Structure 1
Amino acid sequence: MIEIDDAGSGVLVLRLTQGENRFSPDFLDAFGKALDEVEGTAKALVTTGEGKFYSNGLDLDWLSGNGDKFDWYLGRVHALYARMLGLNLPTVAAVNGHAFAGGGMLSLAHDFSVMRADRGWFCLPEIDLKMPFSPAMVALIQAKLPKETVHEAALTGRRYTGTESVAAGIAHHAVAEDEVLAKAVEVATALGAKDGKSFGAIRRTLYRPALNALTDAAAAAATGS
């Protein structure tokens, strides 16, 4: 489901290997355990999917049979984003393919992202799914994207290519498919030379409102309040 590779120079790669990499409870468990393993060990972290998917986000099939657990489930998703924002090491998303909805937000929870230029989209399709964003998700999106991009992406469900994503301030690099992971590792290696605790402290300060919103929402869901 999630494999950990050593890319050298203290960079570890989390390979998401569950097809569309939707956020089932088992997937969220595995992601958390992987972060437990790399935290305190890696100097920098890269995440990537396989094939044509980075992640399509929420597991709608699981939700269709577990609607009574929606608040608990969404809290766990919020907790994942909060954890990424709180890590004491740099993070880079190697977006090998589609990053839709919650998967797109996962890429935004990283410090930097590299997308493939030729195929694959970043998309926030909640408007077409008739699923409003949670306030905590909005806080993350607004913290990481330019105002004009938030407006267009959220209200139209536009699909952005890698090149368009860079122009819109969504991604930082767009390269050929076979260069995505290598470029992400290159970026992570350079960032890994920074002091991890300082890096994490600065990030948590920069994105304190979004981090607080995600953390509070996750805690409320966990306690049922």
Structure 2
Amino acid sequence: MPYVRTDDAVHTLYLGAEGAELDETNPENRFGMDWLDQVNAQLDQVVEAAPGALVITATGKFFSNGLDVDYIGANGDKLPAYLDRVHALYVRVLTLPMPTVAAVNGHAFGAGAMLALCADHRIMRTERGFWSLPEILLGMPFTTGMASLLRTRLPDPTVTEAMTTGKRYGGADAVDAGIVEQAVDIEQLVPAAVDIAAGRAAVAGPTLALIKKGLRAPLLADLERPTPPSLLG
């Protein structure tokens, strides 16, 4: 299950299981219902702790492989409500009262790729792992909230290419495309993210949350709109 480690002013949220390269119950860190509960519980603890900054990362091959396709396949009638929960996680990360840095350690696909975009700053490893939106290749539409998130957080040429081709971006390509701010080798990934987070920790607090909400108001409105059965309304 997801867990947090804290070092001075920086909290590091790991999306996988502590002490394991891959979580046996969720090896790709997909957005299962239990996983969403666990991530939110960890964020509750981070927010309740002393002000600081947050790094979001994982271990092993995956940052997150996105939506829980097994849950979707077994609960098609609950898909809009499930997507609302995914949107709610994006809103929460986008508006946390502390600086956030995503340290993308491995594959970040679909909803997992979008989660990385919710952080204030993004770093990706250089030698392994892709950031990708494979929905077009899977015949899946983007919700209004997801499309707004991508359109808001990415340059227009990149969002068009990523959404309409399913291209996979390695670390260097992701920097060139404006998806992440920098790419480093895996040994430097979390330390670099922690350094950036620590350098911004002093601004944590309710004022930062208000600024983020004002800065991202149209995006937040799209993400908070209930998902209709068509997924596109």
**TM-score normalised per structure 2:** 0.90
Deviations 1:22-49, CA, capped at 9 Å, x for gaps: 0000000001111111114241111111
Deviations 1:123-182, CA, capped at 9 Å, x for gaps: 011000110000000111111000111100000000001111111110011000111111
Deviations 1:64-104, CA, capped at 9 Å, x for gaps: 11111111111100110011112111111110000000000
CA deviation after TM superposition for structure 1 residue 201, in Å: 1.9
> SS state of the match for residue 132, structure 1?
coil
2:219 matches 1:210 = yes
CA deviation after TM superposition for structure 1 residue 217, in Å: 2.8
* 1:86 paired residue among 95, 102, 114: 95
2:11 matches 1:2 = no
2:33 matches 1:25 = yes
In the alignment, residue 146 of structure 2 is paired with which amino acid? M
Q: Which runs of 5+ in 2 are unaligned?
A: 17-22
Q: Summarize the alignment of residues 91-170 of structure 1 with structure 2, pairs less than 5 Å apart.
A: 91-170=100-179
CA deviation after TM superposition for structure 1 residue 198, in Å: 2.5
Q: C-alpha separation between the residues in 2 aligned to 1:59 and 1:103?
A: 11
> SS state of the match for residue 5, structure 1?
strand
Q: Contact (CA 8 Å) 2:53, 2:204: kept in 1 or not?
A: no
CA deviation after TM superposition for structure 1 residue 195, in Å: 3.9
| Identity percentage of aligned residues | 45
Partner residue in 2 for 1:44: 53
In the alignment, residue 153 of structure 1 is paired with which amino acid? A
> SS state of the match for residue 194, structure 2?
helix
Moved more, 14-23 or 132-141: 14-23
2:230 matches 1:201 = no
> SS state of the match for residue 118, structure 1?
coil
Partner residue in 2 for 1:16: 15
Q: C-alpha separation between the residues in 2 aligned to 1:38 and 1:211?
A: 22
CA deviation after TM superposition for structure 1 residue 187, in Å: 0.8
Q: C-alpha separation between the residues in 2 aligned to 1:200 and 1:148?
A: 29
Q: Contact (CA 8 Å) 2:132, 2:167: kept in 1 or not?
A: yes
CA deviation after TM superposition for structure 1 residue 194, in Å: 1.6
Q: Which runs of 5+ in 1 are unaligned?
A: none
Q: C-alpha separation between the residues in 1 aligned to 2:159 and 2:187?
A: 29
Q: C-alpha separation between the residues in 2 aligned to 1:215 and 1:86?
A: 13
CA deviation after TM superposition for structure 1 residue 199, in Å: 2.2
Structure 1 vs Structure 2 CA RMSD = 1.4
Q: C-alpha separation between the residues in 2 aligned to 1:7 and 1:154?
A: 37
In the alignment, residue 188 of structure 1 is paired with which amino acid? A
Q: C-alpha separation between the residues in 2 aligned to 1:61 and 1:165?
A: 29
Q: Extract structure 1 runs of 4+ deviating beyond 6 A.
A: none
**TM-score normalised per structure 1:** 0.93
Q: Contact (CA 8 Å) 2:126, 2:183: kept in 1 or not?
A: yes
Q: C-alpha separation between the residues in 2 aligned to 1:23 and 1:93?
A: 17
Q: Contact (CA 8 Å) 1:90, 1:196: kept in 2 or not?
A: no
